[in-house]
Amino acid sequence: MHHLKCIHLNNCIFFMKLYSPLFGIIACALAGAVVCSCNNPSESGQSTQPIVIDTEQITKETIVSDAIADATLESPTVVKVAFAVSGKLEKGELTLEEGSHFKKGQLLYQINNKEAFAALSRVKTELATHLVQLMPEIETQFPSEKNKWVRFMEELKPQFLTPTLPAFKTSKERYLFTEKGCLTDYYRLQEMETNMANYFYIAPFNGMVIAISEQPENQLKAGKVIATIAKEEALRVKGDIGTIQLNTFSEQSPLVCTVQGDTIGNAIYKSRNGLINGKTEKMHYWFDLKLFRKRPLFHGMKVQLVIPKAKRTAGAKVPLSALKGESIQVFRNGKIQEKSVQIEQSDSNSAFVSGLNSGDLIVVTFQQSVDPKARYQSR
C-alpha cells in the first residue's frame, strides 16, 4: 500500500513538471485580459469626453413695434357679367382683359344675334306690309290721320328701334288697326326688341375689369359668368385681422395704410362681419380709405394696415447664427434641445425672438447634427 502511494505521488510530480510552462502561459493570458478590461472605459462604465459648444444666456426684454395686418383694396360695387341668352360670345367696342378700364355706356360684350335680328326684321316687315294695305282705308275713313301713319311707316326700319305707336284719335281708328293685326305685330316687335337687349352688355358705370373667365368665340349657356367688373369709386380696405390683434385694431382709429412700405393714407374703421374663421382665426374688417394724395389704386391691390408703436412683445435678442428658420437650440443638463420661436424683428446680425424663457442657454451656432447619446459642455 505504501508502495502504491509513492508511485502515484511520483506521477503527479512528473506531470506538473511536464505542463508547468503551459500553466504559465494561461495565467499570463488571464492576467492580460483582466488588465485590458480595466483599461477599457466603455466596459468599465466611464463616459467619453463631452463635446464643447458655445452658449449664451438670454435675457428677456420688451420691445415696442408697429402692429401690422395684411389687407386688400376693394370696390364696394363689384358685378359679375353674364347673359340671359345662350349663343356665341363676341367682343364689344373694346378688347377687354384683366385691368382694362371702360366708360359707362360702352358695349363690352355681345352674343351673336343674327337669328334674333332676322326674326325682328321679319316682324317689322309684316307690320309695314299691313300698314300699306291699310292706308286706303285710313285715307278714306280718317284722312286727317294719314300723315302720322305715313311718318310711322318711314321710321319703321330694321336698323332702328321701333318708333312709338301714334295715338288713336277715336276708338273706331283703334278697332281698325286691331282688326287688321297691326297692334298684334306692334306689341310683338316691342317684346322682341326688349329680348334683343339681352344680346348686348352695356357698361353700367365707369370701371375696370378685375377678372375674365370666358373669351370671344366661346359658346355660352345662359347665366354663364364671363367677366367680373368693379366700379371706379372710392375704394375701401378689407383686412383679415387675427384674434390676437382684434382689440388693437378695433380701438385704433385712424390707421395708417401702406403699399410696400409707402404710406398712402389713413384707414378709418367702418364695420366688421363679427365671425371668426375657425381655420385662420381671423375676422373680416372694413375701413374707409382717406388718401393723402392722388395715386393709381385698383380693386384687389395688396396693402397693409399699420398702427405705429402699438405692439409690445416680450422676447430676447439672439445671434442669427443660432437660428435655423424659426428654430433655436437650447442647452440644458448636458443635452441640446430644439425649440420653436417666433422672429419679431431682425437685422444683419441678430434677431429679436419670442418663445424663450428668461435664463435659457442657447447654442450660439446652430448644430446641424446632434447626437442624442452624446454629452455636451458649455464653453
CATH of domain 78-106+203-231: 2.40.50.100
Q: Rounded to whole angstroms, how far apart are CA atoms 320 and 72?
A: 32
Q: Within 13 Å and on the Cβ side, how many CA atoms surround 234?
A: 7
What cell does 59 get? 435675457
| Beta-strand pair 207-212/101-102 | antiparallel
DSSP 152-169: HHHH--TTSPPPPPPPPS
**More confident site: 32 or 230:** 230
Report CA torsion sign: 188, 190, 193, 194. negative
| pLDDT above 90 (res 151) | yes
| Beta-strand pair 302-319/255-259 | antiparallel
What cell does 149 get? 301713319
Q: What CATH class is the domain 67-74+233-310?
A: mainly beta
| pLDDT above 50 (res 200) | yes
pLDDT tier for residue 298 given thresholds of 50, 70 and 90: confident
What cell does 312 get? 409690445
Q: What is the pLDDT of residues 35-58, one digit of tens each?
A: 444 444 444 444 578 999 999 999
pLDDT at position 9, please? 41
Query: What's the farthest any 2 CA atoms get from each other in the chain?
Result: 183
What cell does 41 get? 472605459
Q: What is the pLDDT of residues 124-141, one digit of tens each?
A: 999 999 999 999 999 999
| pLDDT above 50 (res 309) | yes
Whole-Å CA distances, 215 to 96, 113, 219, 241: 9, 17, 9, 37
pLDDT at position 333, please? 92
What cell does 158 get? 330694321
pLDDT at position 313, please? 83
CATH of domain 52-64+313-378: 2.40.420.20
Residue type, 14: F
What cell does 161 get? 328701334
Residue ranges of the alpha helices (H) in the chain? 2-39, 41-44, 114-141, 146-155, 171-179, 182-196, 246-251
Q: What is the average per-residue pLDDT within 245-266?
A: 80
pLDDT at position 276, please? 86
- In three-state form (DSSP H/G/I as H, E/B as E, the rest C), the secondary structure along 330-341 is EEECCEEEEEEC
Helices 182-196 & 114-141 angle (0-180, nearest 10): 150
Q: What is the pLDDT of residues 158-169, one digit of tens each?
A: 778 889 999 999
